Amino acid sequence: MTAGSSSTHTLSPSSGEIHSIKRRAAQGIATLVVRYGLVICINLAGTIVLSRRIGPSLWGAFAISQSAYLIGQEICGRGLASYLIKKDTPPAPDDIRATFALQNLLGLVAMGFILTAARPLAGWYGQGQLYLLLTAAALACYGYALRGVPMALLERSFEYFKVSVLEILETALFYAAAIPLVWMGQVEAGLASAIVLRSWGPALLTFLLKPVRPAFWPNWTGIGKIVDFGFSVAGSNLINIGIYSVPAVFVGKLSGMAELGRAQMAFSLYSNLLFMTAAVVRLNLSAYSRLIEHAGEFAATINQHLQILAAVLVPLIVIFAGFSPAWSSFIFGQKWQGLSGLLLAQAPGYLLASVFWGVLNPALLVSGKHRQVLIWLAGFFVLYAVLTRLLSPALGAMGVAIAFTSAEILFHPLLFWVYGFKRLNCRRIFPEIIMSAVFAGLIWICAQRSLLAGLLCGTLYLIVWCARNWKTLDSASRDFSPHLRGSALNWVVPADR
């Protein structure tokens, strides 16, 4: 009797904790999806307004400075501080102080590097205004580094409403400063001021929402784990930036700017379509780090999330790529005639990446396999770059698309091996992806000949998809709907967590 009571007493808190984690994770994913959607809309509208006053030459200089501060944001803002999110126990004051001090040093190094390179780069490109823009980007990098710790603590406690408000404010402040000044004729000063404001405005507000005492010198005896995990994540972020840059490095030089434009447009369209996956990766790092101590529930949650993502994102990609011959020429015109073929060629790669990366990447990070993730990304980058270099001279933008899909197909089995084949329950997912890739090709061929034929083929696919996935979607809806309603209410009346 005593043993039975003790067992019940032990299981109850765990069950309640798991339910709380899932509830807050569901609310967090809804909040982040809204955040990413709003930021995309603000960026699109702001870009259109700015581009009407800024010529291609200055826009190119701005794009270079933008790349600099976005790289700084990924490495300085979301690198070392992610250790505090992943940590399986609440961070001690010493952990917070050490991470803040390391973030400060990393921010100073990044700022110094960009400031040192600003004038030579401006001279190399022959764009004098680039010096001012890169100086602003350097200051922005330091702001991102300083706010990294309080932002990580907000994410650890699932306070994603506050995180989303800060990041929406970041984008809104940029355009609120840039647009009036640019339209008044202060183009360089307007862009530079906006770059600094987008970083430092939310950074100061972050400290008000999550007060953290600044620390500027670490205790070197306790930073080993922070450096190990943090620099692995920062390195992974840097490699991801390199992966995104592969078309710009090879295609523009080997195949011409028109082919580069088509390749970049195809990747950009998929990035906007699948913006939800960025929210999934980010949220899952917080959720999985809380679930990792419950081994059975952790493994079951991983497989459930894979099935849900496959049921939701796979048909989205199939319809998007399959009907691209109809909508791409209508929206973009005949100049972009080859775009639909690129979208179809990339579809198999994105079918794999959209389902597995958002789940397995954070699962491996919280399982202590961050070094393996870094090595996997480095190998993927090398293979993708080599294939692009070999294929793009003859095939142009299509060579990049084939290289991307080939690298995804060849390297995903290694990702499954690192996680553990026996822990994956993908008996339904792999046939779903293969069937969907075939249907994407069939719909694309039919849509090329006749929109009606494409619609008939697409309808057949959706009937098959519904028959195979309605149980998964029904179960997910019952699990998540109550929590999503709570998240929607938080946008009106934020919960005091």
DSSP assignment of 138-186: HHHHHHHHHHHHHHHHHHHTT-HHHHHHHHHHHHHHHHHHHHHHHHTT-
Which of 200, 222, 244 is the last residue in one of the domains? 222
Q: What span, in angstroms and rounded, lies between the C-alpha atoms of 192 and 62?
A: 9
Is residue 213 located within the same domain as residue 314?
no
Is residue 42 located within the same domain as residue 74?
yes
Is residue 253 located within the same domain as residue 107?
no
Q: What span, in angstroms and rounded, lies between the C-alpha atoms of 392 and 121?
A: 28
Judge whether 497 lies within some domain.
Answer: no
Residue 449: give the domain boundaries.
Answer: 233-482
The structural domain count of the chain equals 2
pLDDT at position 308: 83
Other C-beta atoms within 10 Å of 128: how many? Answer: 12
Q: What span, in angstroms and rounded, lies between the C-alpha atoms of 312 and 355?
A: 9
Q: Which of 236, 178, 204 is nearest to 54 (CA)?
A: 178
Q: Which of 41, 63, 37 is nearest to 51 (CA)?
A: 63
Q: What span, in angstroms and rounded, lies between the C-alpha atoms of 424 and 302?
A: 8
Judge whether 7 lies within some domain.
Answer: no
What residues contact residue 51 under an 8 Å CB cut-off, 6+ apart?
Answer: 59
- Give burial (CB, 10 Å; 0-12/13-18/19+) of 42: middle
Is residue 118 located within the same domain as residue 206?
yes
Is residue 295 located within the same domain as residue 359?
yes
pLDDT at position 22: 64
Q: Spell out a b/e string for 242-278, using b for 16 or more CB atoms within 10 Å of the CB, else e.
A: bbeebbeebbbebbeeebbbbbbbbbebbeebbbbbe
- Give burial (CB, 10 Å; 0-12/13-18/19+) of 53: middle
Is residue 63 located within the same domain as residue 185?
yes
Judge whether 115 lies within some domain.
Answer: yes
Judge whether 2 lies within some domain.
Answer: no
Is residue 456 located within the same domain as residue 388?
yes
Is residue 342 located within the same domain as residue 394?
yes
Judge whether 210 lies within some domain.
Answer: yes
Is residue 312 located within the same domain as residue 396?
yes
pLDDT at position 410: 95
Is residue 62 located within the same domain as residue 190?
yes
- Give burial (CB, 10 Å; 0-12/13-18/19+) of 207: middle
**How much is the pTM?**
0.74
List the beta strands (DSSP E) in 35-158.
none
Which of 172, 198, 222 is the last residue in one of the domains? 222
pLDDT at position 370: 86
Q: Which of 291, 262, 261, 300 is nearest to 367 (CA)?
A: 291
Is residue 208 located within the same domain as residue 279?
no
Per the CB < 8 A criterion, the answer to whether 260 and 247 are in contact is yes
pLDDT at position 25: 66
pLDDT at position 283: 73
Judge whether 458 lies within some domain.
Answer: yes
Which is it for the CA torsion 364, 366, 367, 371, positive or negative?
positive
Q: Render each residue's pLDDT in the chain as its tens digit; 497 residues.
A: 333 433 333 333 466 666 666 666 666 666 777 777 788 788 778 877 776 777 666 766 777 787 787 777 777 777 778 888 887 778 888 888 888 888 888 889 889 999 998 999 888 877 788 899 999 999 998 998 888 899 989 888 888 788 888 888 998 999 999 999 988 888 888 999 999 999 999 999 999 999 988 887 767 666 777 777 877 887 888 888 888 878 877 776 677 767 777 787 788 788 877 777 777 777 777 778 777 777 777 888 888 888 888 888 899 999 999 998 888 877 776 667 788 899 999 999 999 998 998 889 888 988 888 889 999 999 999 999 999 999 988 888 899 999 999 999 999 999 999 988 888 887 788 888 999 999 999 999 998 888 898 899 999 999 988 888 777 666 656 655 555 554 444 433 444 43
Is residue 166 located within the same domain as residue 283?
no
pLDDT at position 176: 92
pLDDT at position 226: 79
Q: Which stretch of DSSP H or E encloses residue 440?
A: helix 429-449
Per the CB < 8 A criterion, the answer to whether 310 and 300 are in contact is no
Which of 166, 197, 222 is the last residue in one of the domains? 222
Our measurement of the distance from residue 214's CA atom to the centroid of its chain's CA atoms, rounded to an integer in Å, reads: 28
Q: Which of 98, 371, 126 is nearest to 226 (CA)?
A: 98
201: left (phi over 0), alpha (psi -120 to 50) or beta: alpha
Per the CB < 8 A criterion, the answer to whether 39 and 171 are in contact is yes
pLDDT at position 56: 60
Judge whether 394 lies within some domain.
Answer: yes
pLDDT at position 321: 92
What is the number of H-type helices and E-type strands within the chain? 17, 0
Q: What span, in angstroms and rounded, lies between the C-alpha atoms of 297 and 385?
A: 38
Helical ranges in 255-369 per DSSP H: 257-273, 275-291, 295-322, 324-332, 339-366
Judge whether 418 lies within some domain.
Answer: yes
Q: What span, in angstroms and rounded, lies between the C-alpha atoms of 477 and 68?
A: 41
pLDDT at position 6: 37
Other C-beta atoms within 10 Å of 430: how many? Answer: 13
Q: What span, in angstroms and rounded, lies between the C-alpha atoms of 317 and 313?
A: 6
